[in-house]
């Protein structure tokens, strides 16, 4: 799913996600939990300010972001 991402240049000049825009939702990035490189992409596992987990994929050659995984904060809750 393509998403619009507001980003900033990190300490090495790499783009880091700051805010995600999906449909009418506006989700701030509370924490970047992990990041890694793939053959053609950079991936970010983030926790949104809404408490949910997201994995974003950045195609640096096209400057396009995609949402590749979403997990609701209540998905593993036994409550």
Domain ranges within the chain, ordered by starting residue:
2-71
Per the structure block, which two tokens stand in for 38? 């793939």
pLDDT tens digit string along 28-57? 999 999 999 988 899 999 999 999 999 999
Contacts of 14-20 spanning 24+ positions with Cβ under 8 A: 14/42, 15/42, 15/58, 15/60, 16/44, 17/44, 17/46, 17/56, 17/65, 20/48, 20/54, 20/56, 20/67
Res. 16: pLDDT tops 50: yes
């Amino acid at each position: 799913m393509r998403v619009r991402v507001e980003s900033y240049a990190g300490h090495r000049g790499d783009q880091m996600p700051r805010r995600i825009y999906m449909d009418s939702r506006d989700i701030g990035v509370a924490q970047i939990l992990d990041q890694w490189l793939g053959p053609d992409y950079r991936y970010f596992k983030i926790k949104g300010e809404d408490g949910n987990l997201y994995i974003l994929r950045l195609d640096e050659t096209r400057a396009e972001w995609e949402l590749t995984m979403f997990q609701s904060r209540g998905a593993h809750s036994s409550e």
